[in-house]
Amino acid sequence: MSKAAYINLSPAGTPFSRFVNLLWALAMRDLTGKYRRSALGLWWAFIQPLVLMLVFSMLRGFVNIPSDGLPYILFSYAALVPWTFFANSLSSCGPSIIDNAEVIKKIALPREVFPLAGITSAFFDFLMSGILLAGMMVWYKVPVGWSLVWLPVLVALAAAVAFSIGMLVAGLGTFRKDFIFAVPFLVQVWLFVTPVIYPISSVPDRWYFLYLLNPMVGVIEGFRTVLLKASPPPTEPLLASVAVTAVLLAVSWPTFRRLSAYFADVL
């Protein structure tokens, strides 16, 4: 039995520019397709974190949640915006392979482009909700400084976490849909083990290191620190987040690559 191989001997593979071009086209398709027949369009993007914020603000009326001395609305919204980006990215990754079955079954493309396109279109929603956040920051006269240069890093990190988990979900979910069905529950649980609606200072010390294994801790805490406290993200959670994300990517990417050769067979 010889080993199976498919080799394309042509000089150039997929050039990077082609990949980017495709990514852009798919993200635009997702966005325009999603909002074309809606009246509010992209404005839906900030309704989602806004509603969550209102819900949690009401919750705070019953339960005492500390907010590090910041107005709770601002405290929670500054975290809910990146959280929503992450949650939307992750949930768009899951079905991205199945939704693009028609393309995947016919044309050989780097399959990573499909979950990435989901993340890219979630990023546009994120930008929209960022506008409201910026407005709130102006309203509350939050001082900002050079620490804002950390924002792209944090966004990239959130995207990387979503991409690493999303690839696993998309890859495995193509074979067994259960993985995709599990995502909403995962996101819900994840929200409560991340300092979104409560500050990281509420986490008991003995759980702290275990807590840092959640790569979103560094991202969310980083966002809040950078935006509301005008200082660079806390080092410990950030480094932990980067390390865990690197491990996740090292596992999920090769798994996805291996599975992707058989996507066309089962779609």
Number of residues interacting with another protein: please give it, by CB under 8 A.
40
| Nearer residue to another protein within complex by CB, 27 or 87 | 27
Q: Does the footprint of another protein cover residue 24 (CB under 8 A)? A: yes
Q: Does the footprint of another protein cover residue 26 (CB under 8 A)? A: yes
| Nearer residue to another protein within complex by CB, 8 or 201 | 8
Q: Among 39, 58, 63, 107, indicate the residue that binds another protein (CB under 8 A).
A: 107
CB count in 10 Å sphere of residue 168? 21
User: Shortest approach of another protein to residue 108 CB, angstroms?
Assistant: 4
CB count in 10 Å sphere of residue 122? 26
What's the gap between Cα 234 and its chain centre?
Answer: 20
d(CA 253, CA 71) in angstroms, rounded, equals: 40
DSSP per-residue letters across 245-257 = HHHHHHHHHHHHH
User: Shortest approach of another protein to residue 184 CB, angstroms?
Assistant: 24
d(CA 155, CA 85) in angstroms, rounded, equals: 9
Please give the DSSP secondary-structure letter assigned to residue 198: S
Q: Does the footprint of another protein cover residue 39 (CB under 8 A)? A: no
| Nearer residue to another protein within complex by CB, 24 or 43 | 24
| Nearer residue to another protein within complex by CB, 76 or 96 | 96
- Contact set for another protein, span 171-190 (CB under 8 A): 175
Contact 228, 70 (CB under 8 A): yes
User: Shortest approach of another protein to residue 194 CB, angstroms?
Assistant: 33
* Residues whose CB falls within 8 Å of the CB of residue 56, separated by 6 or more in sequence, listed in order: 65, 72, 76, 80, 197
DSSP per-residue letters across 185-205 = HHHHHHHHTTTTSS-GGGS-G
Q: Does the footprint of another protein cover residue 261 (CB under 8 A)? A: yes
Q: Does the footprint of another protein cover residue 254 (CB under 8 A)? A: no
Provide φ and ψ at 26, rounded to 5°. Answer: -70, -40
User: Shortest approach of another protein to residue 30 CB, angstroms?
Assistant: 9
Q: Among 42, 48, 59, 100, indicate the residue that binds another protein (CB under 8 A).
A: 100
- H-only helix segments in 142-230: 151-175, 178-181, 183-192, 208-212, 215-228
Q: Does the footprint of another protein cover residue 265 (CB under 8 A)? A: yes
Q: Does the footprint of another protein cover residue 151 (CB under 8 A)? A: no
For binding to another protein (CB under 8 A), which residues are involved?
1-10, 14, 17-18, 21-22, 24-26, 28-29, 32-33, 36-37, 100, 102-109, 175, 259, 261-262, 264-266
